[in-house]
Structure 1
């Protein structure tokens, strides 16, 4: 999650919102690091981001998908934590487990809201779901300015030293060019809205509700100074 939404999480924590991370697997099939190492790294990254909680469901690495047993575990977690908004990986992605995670999460979001779905705990409907980019990307539905929190994002990513640091088995993600590409993407998304860095997201369940067209204007334009024009 740090690669695609680390800046966004840090920004929302800084603004006083309660943010949590739910990891689906312990990464037992990763080329580098052990599950214990990765859990410790995830905890350090969570501390850097300032999130209120970070939990791991221990689902099978390399085997994520919308099968009923996994859906039930995740639906129960959604009912327990009751988030208003959920961020999930964008699919398709180079890593098939990221795509599997996206399909699993979307199915669990639906199941968690069903009153007759048996997963324990009262049903819960998430108001908004949006996908963040990891390896692959498309034109985003919206971007979030993370310029003020980008150094925090860098430090959170660096906490996962077994995955992104030098040494170990050479992989796609521990090449220096990989993180450089992530930063280039964030700079590009930033350039779309005139800021240094931004993270992009794709809406997954429904469009956001806005009061009027003025809510879509950049924050530097005040509502008092805005005007609507039209023509035939």
Structure 2
């Protein structure tokens, strides 16, 4: 399918599919307590590790499916987004990332990895889980950015970050409350800025977003 035949609705669909991928964990969170026979609040370390592992499998499968779908059906191969960012872009991306990490540190009342640390096994599993979540975050941004640029015909604006904020960011309000939702909304825009500043380079953007997400 030629790129000129692809409309904004196609990129909207891809972005919503990526956003829906986060919901797979919600479904899993409803099923696992039934299988384990205990509530989520009573999970032991092994239960949490199983949850994180299965979530990673679901998210990884969804990410691979969307990358393949966008390439074959919509002629949008995000793996070929490999333009090299300039020094100014790198500098600004680092500044935005430092701001994001600083905000996270304030919200968490301390450095996030330290605040979350509860043993090496949990630390490893949880951060691998974050890596997969960062992949879906990046896909949502990439498709949202393409949507915005198709509609408005103007690059340089963080359409992807705004799209992420209006989906993944806002849903945090309903699931985790207003304060967390506002934080997720704000961080979404910052992730989108990093994506733009790094010339939409999928590899560099993932690396930076994943680092910020973990820290």
Q: Give the TM-score normalised by the residue count of structure 1.
A: 0.31
Q: Give the TM-score normalised by the residue count of structure 2.
A: 0.32
Q: Which has the larger radius of gyration?
A: 1
More strand by share: 1
Higher relative contact order (CA 8 A, sep 6+): 2
More helix by share: 2
